[in-house]
Amino acid sequence: MSYQIAVLAGDGIGPEVMAQARKVLAAAEQRFELNIEYSEYDIGGIAIDNHGCPLPKETLAGCEAADAILFGSVGGPKWEGLPPDSQPERGALLPLRAHFGLFCNLRPAKLHEGLEHLSPLRADISARGFDLVCVRELTGGIYFGKPKGRQGEGEAEEAFDTMRYSRKEIRRIATIAFETARGRRGKVTSVDKANVLACSVLWREVVEEVAKEFPDVTLEHIYIDNATMQLLRRPDEFDVMLCSNLFGDIISDEIAMLTGSMGLLSSASMNESGFGLYEPAGGSAPDIAGKGVANPIAQILSAALMLRHSLKQEDAAAAIERAVGKALSEGFLTGELATDAAAAKTTAEMGDFIAKAV
């Protein structure tokens, strides 16, 4: 099998963690006899510096020619003063999502055994552990709804955004949430604000319809405000959280923080034909960039998700995930996770360890 991957390392720690993911992919290619070709393109801040815009034409063309995008991270203080549309994060991620119709965002967040102390939750709550996945709709809702803009003058000037969802959009993301739950603990919690939003009322209706096709999966509805609260008290009682674009943005970040180890979390954004963008959840972390201390695991697990979802190489994906599990269970940890700072591993040491384990 032969594949084309567009590699968009980006800014901050992006390039250094990407180098480790490439190491691990090389090991997997050898072991599973895959033939993957990589093409590197600028994205985000570095693309602004080199080409004057966060998502250059060549980058987009490269992504179009590929089977999947392996994304690092974008953004940093250097570009924070730019107008919103030109900023690295917004100017790179949103157009990529829209262009490729990446409507389905999967963000798993699991509290790993032995890492409970990193969670910001009280010891008795984190001791119960949790294993969640947020299924977030990524190309609709208030992110892309029209009209969006400004009108009027002086103090009466107003801005407006439109939240918009069709039955079709809700159905396809809900179906993925139920399918995902079927392969896990069989529970979907749909997050909405049906006591206020017309979109949420339709959302509930369609989710109820989809639920009928999955009698083996339990469905519950929760308001976004209550969800934010209950995740703090009883995260172990949730399995799959189904969210619209805006609520998923909030919930996925909250559950990521609940693990206390953002350097372990990856995310997959996919379209209907299996094409996808795979990225770490943690951001570009400009404060530690270039120091060789960033945790490459989120990037490595993103590569595993890419193998699974876009390249359909389940064995290779699972092998990488096992190798990561080995590092964690053997206490082979980078600085932000290690209790003993002196024993902390570097970015490259972690990449080597996992590549070897694969």
Ligand X SMILES: CC(C)[C@H](C(=O)O)[C@@H](O)C(=O)O
Binding positions for a second copy, rule: CB under 8 A? 84, 87, 89-90, 94, 119-123, 125-126, 142-143, 145, 148-150, 152, 154-168, 171, 193-199, 201-203, 224-226, 228-229, 232-233, 246, 249-250, 252-254, 256-258
Q: Is 193 a catalytic residue?
A: yes
Known catalytic residue at 225: yes
Q: Which does 161 bind (CB under 5 to 8 A by kind): ligand X, a second copy, none?
A: a second copy
Sign of the torsion angle spanned by Cα atoms 346, 349, 355, 358: negative
Which of 138/207 has CB closer to ligand X?
Answer: 138
Q: Which of 208, 205, 233 is nearest to 219 (CA)?
A: 208
Site for ligand X contains 94 (CB under 6 A): yes
How large is the angle between the packed helices 88-100 and 57-64, nearest 10 degrees? Answer: 40
- Tell me the C-alpha distance between 203 and 73, whole Å: 31
The token pair at 177 is 């949430």
- The answer to whether the beta carbons of residues 11 and 75 sit under 8 Å apart is yes
Least distance from ligand X to the Cβ atom of residue 209, Å: 25
What is the phi/psi pair of residue 152, to 5°?
Answer: 90, 175
**Binding mask of the shown chain, residues 229 to 258, with x at each position contacting ligand X by CB under 6 A:** --------------------x---------
Q: Active site includes 356?
A: no
Out of 1, 65, 127, 196, name the contact with ligand X by CB under 6 A.
196
Nearer to ligand X by Cβ, of 90 and 187: the residue is 90
Q: Quick one: residue 197, left, alpha or beta (phi over 0 = left, psi -120 to 50 = alpha)?
A: beta
| Residue keyed to tokens 């999947």 | 68
Q: Buried b / exposed e across 154-170, counting CB within 10 Å, b at 16+?
A: eeeeeeeeebebeeebb
222 contacts 243 by C-beta, under 8 angstroms: no
What's the Rg (C-alpha) of the chain? 20
When CB distances are held under 5 to 8 angstroms depending on the partner's kind, the choice from a second copy, ligand X, none that residue 148 binds is: a second copy
Q: How far is the CB of 88 from ligand X (least distance, A)?
A: 9
Q: CA distances (Å), 89 to each of 185, 218, 297, in order?
A: 34, 36, 21
340 binds, among a second copy, ligand X, none (CB under 5 to 8 A by kind): none
Residue 143 is a catalytic residue: yes
Flag whether 15 is marked binding: no
Q: Which residues are annotated as a binding site?
A: 76-89, 97, 107, 136, 225, 249, 253, 283-295
The annotation places the binding site for substrate at 97, 107, 136, 225
Residues that bind ligand X (CB under 6 A): 89-90, 93-94, 195-196, 225, 249
